[in-house]
Amino acid sequence: MTRTTERVKFRLIQTPCCGTMLCYVNPRLPNYCSECGTHIWKDVRGCILVEDENAILKVEGFHPTV
C-alpha cells in the first residue's frame, strides 16, 4: 500500500455562469466551466470563495499501474 502527501494550492470556486462549486487544486485557474462549458477565464478570479496555498493532499491505498 502506497501513501503519499503533497502540498497543493486549494481553491473553492463558484462559477459565474451556473453557480457550480468547484474544489480546485490545479495551480492554474480554469478556462471553462466543467458543468456547462461556458468560457469563464476572465471572470473566475472574482469567484474564488476560499483559497489555501498550504493545503495538504493525502492519498492512501494508491496502487500505480506499471
Residue ranges of domains in the chain: 2-62
Q: Of all residues in the chain, what percent carry a pLDDT higher than 90?
A: 77
Instruction: Please say whether the beta carbons of 16 and 47 come within 8 A.
Output: yes
- Mapped onto helix, strand or coil, the DSSP state of residue 44 is helix
Establish how many alpha carbons lie within 13 A of residue 22's alpha carbon, considering only the half-sphere containing its beta carbon: 24
Instruction: Pull the grid cell for residue 37.
Output: 462549458
Q: What is the average per-residue pLDDT within 42-51?
A: 95
* pLDDT band at residue 3 using 50, 70 and 90 as cut-offs: confident
